Structure 1
């Protein structure tokens, strides 16, 4: 017991002594002397000293006006759909719009066919295409035919299904179309070219509704397909802004889809449309003149003067591989690049 006490006392004494031996050096920098400046020797070339993360030079510099108001950042929620699963119809075309990337929908669609007793005979993730076997060989596939209104005696020829996944107009969304095709024989089939027109329209719309319900009810089991990462290629909407050409929005869409996308984009950006001419592809815009409508400006304007209903036009023009949206001014003044980019960026944020 005395040995333990001796050790404890010894440790305490050494600890107290150490506090006095180790000097506090936290304020020594105050008394530090200034050293000599570092001199780079002449033999060391200055061009060998370069930043690790260099900032590239800016080739395209737009001159800003003397007074410039920095625009507010775009709303981060504008790329989110109001509903995650929406069936849209335009003319004769119908598609399921899903608020997820094609890489996530592809394996879920594979699972849908399997759970409904349908075997996929052909699939090309790069093109986003699937083609099933002839339906009716299993009880589950017969039930699927009945659910889309083609069961029993209503079918006089063998049927197979096609599905096409593609990038949606908005970022990180997917468009799914289906086709119900007649075939001449049962058994193995050759891959059929995707048809731009519906086969059996009512049945295809019912099939989209069934797939929509399935995807919505099986979100927790969703996986991701690396093979389907590039489905549909690049974005269908892009801002093109070159050094020697006017900026515009490029739309990889048909005229009907491009016109509808521009209409939704203007509505989402809250840009007032005074008039429109669909046959010419022109929107007449009243933009940026809210401050002129106050009582103060009315004091200096006569009653006979009538302000034009619009001050910009948004023109939908055909180009080689799609359509483009370009902004023009209507009051006889040349439009500035700053005005063009402001309106086009608002549209891009609300379309893509």
Structure 2
């Protein structure tokens, strides 16, 4: 039985193939079409619908020189992105300008482009930002202990902020950064000013030593140090940053406090308008005025000022709060007007409407400016 079954499985396919070949069935099932190409005819090209466009070959899709690498592709892609987006400044795009003990950084790029990178410098350096106004280009850090405010010492700064008694210092500092369009088109000027406090022993109350914080003079050395740190952060080497700061020799400047024919007080700066504009702006930052707005084309700074003589009975913090919104502070807005006189520049203090101020306050404001600018 097994032998018969095997024989049947072999014989059946043979008989089937024989029958198919004899009847021409294979020819009908698998006809020979090798010569069909001779019968073809050329037809017209397909029309592209009017709402579609053909895609030409683009150089961006071609591999040049017969080879390509992932790193090369990424480099080319990044180059194209940089060309169409924001380009970070290079050390060659930075320079330092100086006027006496005031220095500022001139960097290639508009203020809106430079702002984010300059702002990140303070955060990466461990500072807290107490207030900022990107539209005005002003940023102010929080107070920090002097011994832990060195950029890069983030761990100590963090510990000091969370556990205030972990590190103690009798000195505290804060910094104000201001960005402004440069005198040269396509540049931004970065100003950094310093404010300081010092702790003073006041007396004992129930065996407890009490202290108060009093202002101390701004430190131009710390301002220069922060400018150097920012240059390094933006890509300059420490040696290059130090060279830029030391290559600029302080230039003497002079100021004269006088009166016009109608008795209006005026501060005369023996400088051109662009130079005087920078000097006044830095000084306003140093003496802690709140600059609400500025119009360089009109030569006007809009500031809020609270006469310190009216605050003698107030605490120290309220004395510093020139920008306070408390109505009891009676903070008044003034215009500090700069007028171009060629070789000299006149500085006047006007009221909020741009009119001559008849009170003694303009004399006090101009005296504060004079003490810094003479």
TM over 0.5: no
Kindly indicate whether structure 1 or structure 2 has the higher relative contact order, using CA contacts under 8 Å at least 6 residues apart: 1
Larger radius of gyration between Structure 1 and Structure 2: 2
Higher helix share: 2
Higher strand share: 2
